[in-house]
Amino acid sequence: MTEEGSSVAADRALFIKLGKGGVWESSSLHEDQTVRLGYHEIPTDLANAAAISGDWGTPYKILLDVSDGDVGTAKRHLIQVREFFEADDTVIWITFAEGQMWWCRSFRKISPMPDGHVRPVIGCWAKEDVRGRPLEISSLSGKLTATQGFRGTVCSVGEFEYLLNRINGELPEAVRAAEEARDALRDRIEALISGLHWRDFEILVDLIFRGAGLQRVSELGKTLKEIDLDLLAPLTNERYAAQVKSRAGLRELQHLEDAFTDLHGFSRVYLVVHTPQAGLRDAAPAEPLEVLGPRQLADLSLRYGLTEWIIARAS
């Protein structure tokens, strides 16, 4: 679509459904790289001529006949046909499919197809912003994604400024400020975690795993020699183990790796430490071992609402 990192400029955007029930989504997005419209009752040459002259009288009569004389319905159909045929190559087209928002520009070179009309995409449909980050529907504002509920085929995108910001990978100032405040809080929480008493630290780790949906199946430190937490995932019946230490380095990690062969039945084993030695910070243990240090613990504590608990224990 664009070179990664380059900015996209536009004045407007159009949403389009790629066929009834998304019948053209796969071919348009992955194969042909096209924008498609139905309304096969209107000849493509006729609509192209109307887009140039501005005289949509004859296409309107066709749509009025298709609509059984319903003037309101015919006018709504005509608006959508005109959007498709009159949009130039500066317009951004968007659609929603496969859990993503897709966007493109399109050349105003409209050709007929058996069941409607087709115009080529400039480059290809994209499902990432210009920085390469995915535009997942779940991460977009409901004000924008509500567009996919439009009962017609083509409509103007009302949340255009927000859309353009997301395509360009830019955040609103309020969101940027909130992220900066969150990151600053995470840094403070990380420092507090590193100063916790070892008993409080063990309790915090237990609370974090509970927040992740894991159930402790034995008392803290009462399971196996190398394990402080024996955990169960209720939905999958998978077992996880955690060794919790205030301070640890590569020696402790190696010891846990050597012991893992005797820890039968565990899907993953964590070494959880709030003050890792220098070598441990850069370690990359082989699966299924994982090191959880103070930064990861701070992130998880924020996610599971443990900030007040940490502040109270650190006071």
* Higher-scoring residue by pLDDT: 78, 277: 78
- Asked whether 14 and 157 are in contact (CB, 8 A), the reply is yes
pLDDT in tens, 212-234: 999 988 755 455 567 888 899 99
Q: Identify the pLDDT of residue 288.
A: 82
Pick from 123, 47, 112, 46: which is nearest to 84 by CA?
Answer: 47
44-48, 211-215, 266-270: least confidently modelled range: 266-270
> To which H or E segment does residue 305 belong?
none
Pick from 73, 76, 41: which is nearest to 59 by CA?
Answer: 41
> To which H or E segment does residue 154 belong?
strand 154-156
Using CA atoms, how far apart are residues 187 and 183, in angstroms rounded to an integer?
A: 6
Q: Identify the pLDDT of residue 180.
A: 93
Overall average pLDDT of the 297-310 stretch: 96
DSSP state of 29: I
Helix, strand or coil, per DSSP, at residue 191:
helix
Using CA atoms, how far apart are residues 187 and 310, in angstroms rounded to an integer?
A: 13
Domains belonging to the chain, first-starting first, are 13-167 (no CATH), 175-314 (3.40.1350)
Q: What are phi and psi of 12, to 5 degrees?
A: -160, 165
Using CA atoms, how far apart are residues 43 and 20, in angstroms rounded to an integer?
A: 20
**Inter-axis angle of helices 307-314 and 294-303, to 10 degrees?**
120
Q: Is the pLDDT of residue 305 over 90?
A: yes
